[in-house]
Amino acid sequence: MSDNPPRLRHVEHCMGTVFSFDVRGARDPRVRAALDEAVAGLHEVDAVFSTFRADSEISRLGRCELALAECSPEVREVLGLCEDAERRTDGWFTARYEGPGSALDPTGLVKGWAVERAVRTITAAGAGKVCLNGGGDVQLTGGPWRVGIADPLRPGGLATVVEADGELAVATSGPAERGCHILDPRTGAPPAEGAASLTVVCASLTEADTWATAGYAMGGRAREWLEALPDVEAFAVAADGTTWHTTGFGRFVAKLSA
């Protein structure tokens, strides 16, 4: 009889990216059902929040074809989180973009929120060790786990490796995968002194995703701001290939054998 604990793995294409599930110790059949529920939940989020779908609630709300009171509770929850994030970041994170082509776009928070919600669905069914990677943003419970942080200047390479044994989230923002899609909300232009990538580590992927988006938009101001956030650490690769990290980030760096 194998000593290896039961393990569920699943890959799902959704939201224009890939979601990879890794569930360890999945003995209870309720965990399999919960994974299926979590996958269905991701597709529901995409249908509601996609800015590429003209019929999504968020698109209709942005065009004033739908009142907020008529939207699903999830829309009200996410927009409330976006408003809170905008206050906490002094406007560096925003879901509302004014001017030509103005739009309502909470996607800087939605994916992290959706991943975190999916992991909660699976752990509620009894899974103690879950890793869900949504397009490079990762929510972990249990462990131990190792998460590689891609080197944005060296395709296929790693800039560093994060190690976790417990609840941890890892979110990265930058232009390497999708081009410069995060703009300085005060100028509408790419951020001054923008990093090649900025990774944020904390307990919640909703927050890690938000702080990474806001920090990237800040450009050169990000390091000082992130250093001051409680229970948040960060690692960045600058455009010239140099790196920096917040004071406590080192405790998450994996000790790799030579």
**What's residue 258's pLDDT?**
45
**Distance linking the first and last C-alpha atoms of the chain:** 33
DSSP 11: E
Q: Is residue 132 within 8 Å of 126, Cβ to Cβ? A: no
Is there a contact between 235 and 194 (Cβ–Cβ < 8 Å)?
Answer: no
What kind of fold does domain 7-252 have according to CATH? Answer: T-fold (3.10.520)
Q: What residues have CB less than 8 Å from 254, skipping those under 6 apart?
A: 146, 161, 162, 163
Below-50 pLDDT ranges, the chain: 1-2, 100, 258
What are the domain boundaries of the chain? 7-252
d(CA 246, CA 124): 33
Q: pTM of the prediction? A: 0.91
Q: Which candidate, 221, 164, 168, places its Cα nearest to that of 198?
A: 221
